[in-house]
Copies of this chain bind each other. A is one copy, B any other.
């Protein structure tokens, strides 16, 4: 793992504009094989979505067969299969899942849903929050199933009061995903993956009713499909490769810092694992630890690529500069491995989650700490939030004016309509004050 100075880091790993090619030659070749020379992942996804919108289940059958070698029957996985998967869980794992569910639920139940009303503006005005009716959760499957992401997506929705939560996950779903669905009392689970799952949830078919909002990350095709249905259905944002930025001083344990960087790097060859520290000796100790601990990890190949691509150790002049760099970078995960980490919280503006102190390491956040692990990537923490209860409710503005307020507001509303040359607006307003056309 490379050690960089601050200028090198600003030009490379901390520069959000530097793009690393995110489609492997193998993937492009297989797209070409299957769809012909002109096909790109974007055009393939557009075609999948277009046909699903037009043909519904017929198209789902076609793509599920062609892309996943699976047959789409239009029915959810039988409840019995979910229950059986639950019964098959070993005891320790079952307890771990129960703990995760309990803590994530407790955390989100504390979230405040901020409806309000006032009688101080002439009548009653306010904002009311109502749950979204039907939500679709995409859970990645295939070679890298992430059953934990089902917990982290479904519970905020359940706490919000969403009526119907459905799950799509690629064919032959991992047993643990089925078991967790059962434990969360979610029984509408479809073995449908990729862009076709996003299309089915966005447009609906005769057998799968469309949803109001889709959440959950997936592979390139899932992300492209989400991008293309923007405006058709609600979305939780586009997930890019995961990122951790650790800020450490000389109180940090280099072995632990290294382990956390390696955990981050094993997700994806484009994952970012970044350490900022003012202490050269910590930088070097972490570098050595990374090298040592790497031996024996099962995903060593992915880790080594991730460490080369978008990861590194950066020596900063001091902790203040490290905090500034973190704010510019706006990491998904920010870990403060410093003495008195609480003192630095006020300096942090942009981060999906802040892991305060070495005891609050990110792996706990991935599974059991409480907040959803679905957090904003790619610098979007500048403007976006971790998945939370507010993602599953929507606000309605309420306007109930009394007669006096109405009378007071008619002239200024009409004056503003006049400058926009909206004469029907002005007429609608002035009609109220003249009372002429009213029979009240």
Q: Choose among B116, B299, B360, B412 the residue that contacts A401 (Cβ–Cβ < 8 A).
A: B360
> Could you say which of A7-15, A74-82, A421-429 contacts chain B?
A421-429
Q: Name the B residues within 8 Å of A371 (CB-CB).
A: 125, 127, 397, 399
Q: How large is the interface on A (under 10, 10 to 19, 20 to 34, 35 or more residues)?
A: 35 or more
Contact A383 B233 (CB under 8 A): yes
A248 on the B face (CB < 8 A): no
Beta-carbon nearest neighbor of A406 in chain B? B359
Q: Choose among B112, B121, B361, B382 the residue that contacts A112 (Cβ–Cβ < 8 A).
A: B112
A416 on the B face (CB < 8 A): yes
A249 on the B face (CB < 8 A): no
Contact B437 A255 (CB under 8 A): yes
Determine how close the nearest CB of chain B comes to the CB of A172; give it in whole angstroms: 16
A297 on the B face (CB < 8 A): yes
A185 on the B face (CB < 8 A): no
A395 on the B face (CB < 8 A): yes
6 CB-based A-B contacts, threshold 8 Å = A107-B125, A112-B112, A297-B427, A367-B417, A369-B409, A385-B396
A216 on the B face (CB < 8 A): no
Q: Name the B residues within 8 Å of A243 (CB-CB).
A: none
Contact A112 B114 (CB under 8 A): yes
Contact B263 A366 (CB under 8 A): no
A-B pairs, 3 with minimum CB distance: A234-B383, A371-B397, A96-B412
How far does the alpha carbon of A58 sit from the alpha carbon of B388 in the complex, in Å?
41
> Could you say which of A141-149, A275-283, A311-319 contacts chain B?
A141-149
19 further A-B pairs in the complex, CB-CB below 8 A; given A353-B396, A376-B394, A390-B395: A93-B419, A96-B415, A103-B121, A121-B370, A148-B416, A259-B437, A262-B424, A262-B427, A266-B422, A266-B424, A348-B396, A352-B397, A357-B401, A360-B400, A363-B425, A363-B428, A366-B425, A375-B397, A386-B395
Q: A121-B106, A148-B416, A413-B367 are in contact. Are A360 and B234 (CB under 8 A)?
A: no
Within 8 A of B (CB), among A258-288: 259-260, 262-263, 265-267
Interface centre among A256, A267, A422 (most CB of B within 10 A): A422
Q: A96-B411, A263-B422 are in contact. Are A382 and B133 (CB under 8 A)?
A: yes
Q: Name the B residues within 8 Å of A262 (CB-CB).
A: 424, 427-428
Number of this chain's copies in the complex: 2
Contact B383 A132 (CB under 8 A): yes
Contact A95 B412 (CB under 8 A): yes
A66 on the B face (CB < 8 A): no
Interface centre among A133, A358, A400 (most CB of B within 10 A): A400
A111 on the B face (CB < 8 A): yes
How far does the alpha carbon of A256 sit from the alpha carbon of B432 in the complex, in Å?
8
Contact B432 A361 (CB under 8 A): yes
Contact B121 A234 (CB under 8 A): no
Contact B176 A419 (CB under 8 A): yes
How far does the alpha carbon of A324 sit from the alpha carbon of B390 in the complex, in Å?
24
Contact B299 A437 (CB under 8 A): no
How far does the alpha carbon of A99 sit from the alpha carbon of B415 in the complex, in Å?
11
Contact B399 A145 (CB under 8 A): no
How far does the alpha carbon of A198 sit from the alpha carbon of B267 in the complex, in Å?
34
